[in-house]
Amino acid sequence: MRYTKYQYKKKSNGINFLTSVVMMILGAGAIGLIVGTMIFNTVWGNKLMKIGGTSQEVVADETVKKEAFESVQCGYFSKEENANKVLESLGKSYNSFVVKDEEKFRVLAGVFTGQEGDKALNELKDKGIEAAKVKFTLDEEDKVQEQISAISDGYFKIVTTLKNNEVKAVSTSEFKGWTKELPEITEGDKKEIIGQFKKHIEELPSELKKENLTDELKYIYTILINFKR
């Protein structure tokens, strides 16, 4: 169990939730929308912020106060065409993308949490592809990083739900509402990143589809790179 000041609490009751599920089945006919909502409710009900009213601190293991994400870099090139060649060689397994860094181009094999980064790194090396892990660590004792960590964690779970072959789309509505109600952070190092992140979430469509997966992972990377360790 991790330490967090924030805990998301679903506002609707069980009857309303059941009704919304039925409406989604009838209106959308997409299992992905249901799966996405259920994952959001289950995971976020245990991990994230309680909006409005008195927040309750859950102090579990005081040593666990950092959230870690990873990416696997597969090259850094001066020419975009060379980066694209490596990108093509990676195939579609990792939702890879190219990021322009000043005048050069980085090839990234996705964004990961837990042991997934190590798994991807080892698979790529076994294929003879040069790769190195890039780690991003957010300190949850820092107000700015704590909120970015919470948003990143939830958004990452929603986006990566699209990797499931049976999922056609995931709903973003509840997550967007939750993000909008987060307290404003007015001071602290890199506070402007929170504003950028919230604006991006606010402008998302009501649902994300599989074709959005890579672009949204790429966006998450552009946020996390500010916390490279």
pLDDT in tens, the chain (229 residues): 332 444 334 444 444 433 343 344 334 444 555 445 554 554 444 445 443 333 333 333 444 467 799 999 999 999 999 999 999 999 888 899 999 999 999 999 999 998 899 999 999 999 999 999 999 999 989 999 999 999 999 999 999 999 999 999 999 999 999 999 999 999 999 999 999 999 999 999 999 999 999 999 999 999 999 999 8
Q: What pLDDT is recorded for position 162?
A: 95
DSSP for residue 185? P
User: Cα angle vertex 46, ends 173, 54, to 5°?
Assistant: 85
Q: Kindly report the backbone phi and psi dihedral angles of residue 93, in degrees, each rounded to the nearest multiple of 5, phi listed first.
A: -70, -30
Residue carrying the six token digits 């089945």: 25
Which tokens hold the place of 90? 């990676």
Q: Kindly report the backbone phi and psi dihedral angles of residue 48, in degrees, each rounded to the nearest multiple of 5, phi listed first.
A: -110, -160
Q: What pLDDT is recorded for position 47?
A: 46
Q: What pLDDT is recorded for position 3?
A: 29
Q: What pLDDT is recorded for position 18?
A: 38
Closest to 158 (Cα-Cα) out of 48, 7, 4, 21: 48
**Distances, alpha carbon 221 to alpha carbons 70, 97, 108, 201, 205, in Å:** 9, 10, 9, 14, 20
DSSP for residue 226? G
Q: Alpha-carbon distance 155 to 123, whole Å? A: 26
Residue type at 11? K
- Contact (CB, 8 A) for 111 and 221: yes
Q: What pLDDT is recorded for position 33?
A: 53
Q: What pLDDT is recorded for position 66?
A: 79
Q: Alpha-carbon distance 155 to 44, whole Å? A: 10
E strand segments, 88-165: 97-101, 104-112, 132-139
Which tokens hold the place of 40? 């959001």
Q: What pLDDT is recorded for position 93?
A: 84
| Domain 66-137 fold | Alpha-Beta Plaits (3.30.70)
Q: Where in the chain is the domain with CATH 3.30.70.1070?
A: 66-137
HSE-CB for 26 with a 13 A CA cutoff: 6
E strand segments, the chain: 66-77, 97-101, 104-112, 132-139, 169-171, 207-209
Q: What pLDDT is recorded for position 1?
A: 30
Closest to 130 (Cα-Cα) out of 174, 168, 74: 74
Bridge partner residues of 77 (DSSP): 105
